[in-house]
A and B are shown apart, each in its own frame.
Chain A
């Protein structure tokens, strides 16, 4: 069966520090991968999605970036965090020709 991992579960970082969140998927090949952010009490905002290695589509221009160095690995990064980057970051995957998305446990980021 398929499994999606995210780490860390929680993170507290100072303003201006870098960020690296990792997501990996097991049990499937060539998945579509997604990064979402959810601010406190708000809905999900799609940040990036990827349909293959090295292919990244950005939905929201900001100080975040994403990379997909391997088929089942998706990384969210920032060089300098802002206070507004605080939130619940969720990684999700879907099969290549499917729109059913399966979400990871999320990373709760607090920028101080």
Chain B
């Protein structure tokens, strides 16, 4: 599975959009981009995933660049409850079920 690079931490003002970047320059054509988040003392929560088209659900939007070497998770109106560690994961749908969680980005939403 391709390696991902995320900033260790970010700040965002409450009510503003939070844009969390992820670099995955070695991504292969069959690898998807997944995003999870982990609120303190809780288990990780699946947010969204995509292959090459932009995706949106009730939690967030995922923007994948045309060359697929990077992506951005967008929380359109961040709230204090969005403070969490956000994990960007790239993996193929073959090769087993192992999913590697890296260090992620610690997002602080401030009032």
State yes or no: do A and B come from one complex.
yes
Pairwise interchain contact A90-B43, C-beta atoms closer than 8 A: yes
Q: Are B97 and A94 in contact (CB under 8 A)?
A: yes
Number of A-B contacts (CB under 8 A): 48
What number of A residues sit within 8 Å (CB to CB) of B? 23
Determine if A105 and B43 form an interchain contact, defined as CB atoms under 8 angstroms apart.
yes
Residues of B in contact (CB 8 Å), total 21
By DSSP majority rule, is chain A's interface helix, strand, loop, or mixed? strand
Q: Does A109 contact B (CB under 8 A)?
A: no
Q: State how many angstroms separate the Cβ of A61 from the closest Cβ of chain B.
A: 15
CB distance from A105 to the nearest CB of B (A): 6
Set of chain B residues within 8 Å of A46, measured between Cβ atoms:
98-100
Query: Across the interface, which residues of B come within 8 angstroms of A36, CB to CB?
Result: 101
User: Contacting chain B: which of A62-70, A74-82, A96-104?
Assistant: A96-104
Q: Residues on B close to A: CB < 8 A?
A: 32, 34, 36, 41-46, 49, 91, 93, 96-104
